[in-house]
Amino acid sequence: MSTHSIRPELPELVPASAPGKAAEVLVVGTTAGGDGPELALADGVVDEAVLAELLDDLIAVGATGAAEETVRVPAPSGLSVASVVAVGLGDAQSLDADGIRRAAGAAARTLKGVGTAATTLSALDLGAAAEGFALGAYTFTAFRSAKTAPADDAAPVRTVELLVAAPKARETKATVARSTAIARAVATARELVNTPPNILSPAEFADRARQLGSDAGLKVEVLDEKALEKSGYGGIVGVGKGSSRPPRLVRLAYSGGKRGAASVALVGKGVTFDTGGISIKPAAGMENMTSDMGGAAAVVATVALAAELNLKVNVTATVPMAENMPSATAQRPGDVLTQYGGTTVEVINTDAEGRLILADAIVRACEDDPDYLIDTATLTGAQMVALGNRTPGVMGTDEFRDRVARISQGIGENGWPMPMPAEIRGDLSSKVADLANVTNNRWGGMLAAALFLKEFVADGVQWAHIDVAGPAYNTGGAWGYTGKGGTGVPVRTMISVLEDIAANG
């Protein structure tokens, strides 16, 4: 069993009516008005005279209210804190929950060395502000020695006071509890993705998933390489053959619904490191393939979160885990695999391995006769070519695809519905097997991968495939509540879809 801490530390989020004695900094929002920045503050927190002085100070140092702009000034004498951080919200007319979430995240990243901060962003949207502060403060330091570990004056903010009119109200407490749970789940997915691949082998990943599941009260099943071989999981076994660290399949089941409640299957790609296998990737940037289990990390975190939120829905996660390495035992281009369920696949490119392990998991998941199935994966470079680094592609059965994309856009992960053109399906034909794992051209690679997976989804199941090849891992600078490295996408999309299914079927 893994001894690594599964749950990363995040700031404590505390509803309050005014800054407490320990508060060192007040975080306020500014919007970009036609005549300069304007303050967006909770009524009663600051009196008019202090407001006017604060706004003058912000204008004097060049604040504009542009989205995610942060400006820090000494606090006017009427405030109990030492300083004020103003974070830009952009155009007031287009302000939405994710704009507040991003602003809170940007503010949190400036609060290094602060013990306690208070904020009025919570008066604009309590849940979004709470999530933004928690996720913006997340850092990954598990592998830093004393030489480079953050000193106290560079440590993330420890406590955030969320200023609201009714801090003790039941609704306030429920909102903060939900946002805390969601932020913790997203951070857990980030922590798994950020863990180096020499540590996070398939077996170690399975151990951590088992621990998360056990802590959440889930039913847990783990199949090792012998059980996978015996049961005919040809895709998972085939991908894992090249590694000295054998594959796993983890099943996590949450029964939250009464008889007749909707059932949802979640499947996530868990390739703990992807060299491409025999079809080896270029060396440049290969270190980022530590993120190739981002879909699995999100699924594991989401099913545990569903239990924590006590959703009235039944959720089962089926999570294949393997390492794709080149060796004397690795599968070759030209090999034919027999997937779980009997479909044969000609392996044209061993770097198209994610769909092979997902196919096994999807067939197994469909044996439970779910109403809905969501699979997510860092599946194709074509996703980034088509949609960039921040926009997941969503494919699947039309109605559910559009529902998932709409919900994803509403919560700020911005999934975009994509088609699966019938003419591409013919390019997946094989001369020797039922299917080839790639087409013979470079066009529509994200769509072709979804069409491949469609072959393994049982009839009648409402299905959505979320390709997060770019969005699951940020190789650039921090922005909003997203730091460098694992992002936790699409945890918030999946939990919001589960909440919607629990409420509406």
φ, ψ dihedrals at 400, nearest 5°: -75, -35
Q: How many helices (H) and strands (E) does the chain have?
A: 14, 21
Q: Of these residues, 355, 401, 403, 492, which one is catalytic? A: 355
- Start-to-end Cα distance in the chain: 37
The radius of gyration computed from the CA coordinates of the chain, to the nearest angstrom, equals 24
Contact criterion met (CB below 8 Å) for 261 and 312: yes
Catalytic residue (choose from 7, 72, 158, 281) = 281
Residue 70 sits at the vertex; the CA angle it makes with 26 and 81, to the nearest 5 degrees, is 15
The reply to whether 355 belongs to the active site is yes
Sort 393 into a burial class: Cβ within 10 Å, 0-12 / 13-18 / 19+. buried
Instruction: Identify whether 370 is preceded by a cis peptide bond (ω within 30 of 0).
Output: no
50-64 CB burial, b ≥16 within 10 A, e <16? bbebbbebbeeeebb
Q: Which two tokens stand for residue 299?
A: 């699924």
On the CB side of 114, CA atoms within 13 Å amount to 28
Burial of 284 (0-12, 13-18, 19+ CB in 10 A): exposed
Pairing of strands 314-324, 159-163: unpaired
**Encoding tokens for residue 269?**
């790609």
4 closest CA partner among 178, 200, 221, 257: 200
> At 231, which helix (H) or strand (E)?
helix 225-231
Phi, psi at 272, each rounded to 5°: -70, -25
* Residue 457 near residue 366 (C-beta atoms within 8 A): yes
Query: What is the distance between the alpha carbons of residues 277 and 271, in angstroms, rounded to a whole number?
Result: 12
| Active-site residue, 364 included | no
Per-residue DSSP letter, 72: E
Closest CA to 359 of 318, 331, 394: 318
Q: Which two tokens stand for residue 436?
A: 């080839």
Q: Is the dihedral of CA 348, 352, 353, 356 positive or negative?
A: negative
Q: Tokens 């990737």 identify what position?
A: 281
What positions carry a catalytic annotation? 281, 355
